[in-house]
Structure 1
Amino acid sequence: MSKTLLSADQLVALYEEDAALLHGHFLLSSGLHSDTYLQSARILQYPKHAAQVAEAMVAGIPEALREQITAVVGPAMGAVIVAQECGRALGVRAFFTEREGGQMTLRRGFALEPGEAVLVVEDITTTGGSTRECMAVVRASGARVAAVSAIIDRSSAGIPDFDGVPYYPLLRLPVQTWEETDCPLCAAGSQAVKPGSRGLR
């Protein structure tokens, strides 16, 4: 890992530099509405920036725990590059889960060994739903989730609980979110847009 790691301020500056911190009226994958959107793909399109972010993510995990990790897994699509770069930083293999018939699963010959320690990663966490689905796939394979990490935790309802698994987001950046029925932007006549790889992010 590089000696100089991203600080919280530098990470926010990087999102701003890459036009990845957006303001408007957005519909998130959780179904919530927000006036702020973090488009991590704009950061991750630059290999140098992706590597910097991943190095800082894994450096935030305690060394004793970090040394146990033998694989990194993240849900497609948002965490594909994140998993790859975290795997590179740790020197372990990396792959991703994806949906098949609406269910998160491992495909493409990806496999985990029973008992091995896995780091589950995300780009952005709001409610933690996709992360929990990914964790369930890891556990169903017989492996264990040793830690969870994300580039940014934007949850406004407090830090998500991942069944007691240690959680190390690189940055906590709570943003305002609303249920559609309570959204003041909708009440003002604004139409929510659906950015992201799945339309809903």
Structure 2
Amino acid sequence: MNTEDVLNEFRGAGALREGHFILASGRHSPMFLQKNLVFQHADRTERLCRALAQKIELEFGKPDLIVAPAVGAIIPGYETARWLGVPSIYVEREDGQFKLRRAFTIAPGAKVVVVEDVITTGGSFREAVEPIQAAGGVVLCCACIVDRSGGRADVGWPLVALATVDVPSYPADALPPELAALPAEEPGSKRLRA
């Protein structure tokens, strides 16, 4: 599966949106990949995650465990793990930090792949690694459905991306006039409060 195949899955689900969006990173972008519109379809999710699992295994071998940052990556993490035949767990925020909860454990020395949905800066991945390493897990790589940084995201580990696109994003204080003229939407969940 190549980048255009992946984008066609997003287009087919109505998940490739244009406008003015505030991303989980806090940056602003004229395009948003509304991945949950894709992940509501089991057939689309299966195709994407099967291809991602194959790419992970080709580059790193079979991991022992998949870990996904909650909440957006739980579905692709689970489906990718299913195709690899390994368990899937997730880390979730507690007091602003990713933690292992719900009796999830990681065996010391376990080979872990962190599966993300869409990355822009790699910030969530870098945060998700902390509890994995604290538990003694060995992170092999970050794997994602879409790297929207054009390959520039600094995740700190090898990155396996099913699709790589170069979508511009801007800090809030440096918006191009055409983007600043549009009302901003914040469709993600990272900053939602309980």
After TM superposition, the score normalised by the length of structure 1 is 0.89
**CA deviation digits over 1:155-198, x for unaligned, max 9?**
15x422333x3211101011011111111247753221100234
Structure 2: distance between partners of 1:10 and 1:187: 28
Residues 189, 166 of structure 1: CA spacing in aligned structure 2 closer, same or farther, 3 A cutoff?
closer
Structure 2: distance between partners of 1:51 and 1:97: 22
**CA deviation digits over 1:42-94, x for unaligned, max 9?**
11111111111111112112537222x01000101110001100110100000
CA contact (8 A) 2:30 2:179 kept: no
Residues 115, 178 of structure 1: CA spacing in aligned structure 2 closer, same or farther, 3 A cutoff?
same
Residues 26, 64 of structure 1: CA spacing in aligned structure 2 closer, same or farther, 3 A cutoff?
closer
Residues 146, 192 of structure 1: CA spacing in aligned structure 2 closer, same or farther, 3 A cutoff?
same
Structure 2: distance between partners of 1:197 and 1:103: 15
How many residue pairs are counted as aligned between the two chains? 192
Map 1:122-201 → 2, pairs under 5 A: 122-155=116-149, 158-163=151-156, 165-185=157-177, 188-198=180-190
Structure 2: distance between partners of 1:75 and 1:102: 13
Gaps of 5+ in 2: none
Identity %: 35
Structure 1 partner of 2:100? 106
1:66 to 61, 68, 82: 61
| SS of residue matched to 1:152 | strand
Residues 101, 188 of structure 1: CA spacing in aligned structure 2 closer, same or farther, 3 A cutoff?
closer
Give how far 1:109 is off.
0.4
1:12 to 7, 12, 20: 7
